[in-house]
Amino acid sequence: MAKRRARLNDENDPLSSTDKVLAGFEQLSQPASQPDYKPTSQQAGKSLSQQADKSRIRKATFQLSEAVLQQLDKFHLQLQLELGKSSTPYKEVIVEEAIAQFLEQAGSNRDELLKALRSRQERRQ
């Protein structure tokens, strides 16, 4: 007897409901002063060089250890106490800046970094 394979569609996709929740959360967390970006026909006619100057944001999902997330939460709460809740950058901004600084400094002590990365990779498996 041949095995039936389930096909993934909108009705049985476990991620579709997650995406809807995340989209709703992003709308709620977006400040009112920051309108949604919707290109107009005038903007579509701009040259490629002008469009390339704008920073592009791409969503990414990574698994992080509980310890790292707790450190991030603690740091974010400390910033809220120091700067005030309304002036504190989003966690995404903190993570993006941390990654950018990490990558800039990665070349200076490459051997030590590779050793640490291999160790962390082994702990994940």
Residues 91-113: tens digit of each pLDDT: 999 999 999 999 998 888 899 99
CA 67 from centre of chain? 18
Look at residue 58 in the predicted model and tell me its pLDDT: 84
Count of Cβ atoms closer than 10 Å to residue 82 Cβ: 9
- Residue 18 confidence (pLDDT): 60
Cα–chain-centroid distance for residue 125?
A: 23
Task: Classify residue 1 as exposed, middle or buried by CB count within 10 Å of its CB (0-12, 13-18, 19+).
Answer: exposed
pLDDT digits (tens, 9 = 90+) for 70-88: 999 999 999 999 999 999 9
Q: What DSSP state is assigned to residue 87?
A: G
User: Quick check: 75 and 94 in contact, CB under 8 A?
Assistant: yes
Q: What is the pLDDT of residue 49?
A: 47
pLDDT at 17: 59
The pTM of this model reads 0.52
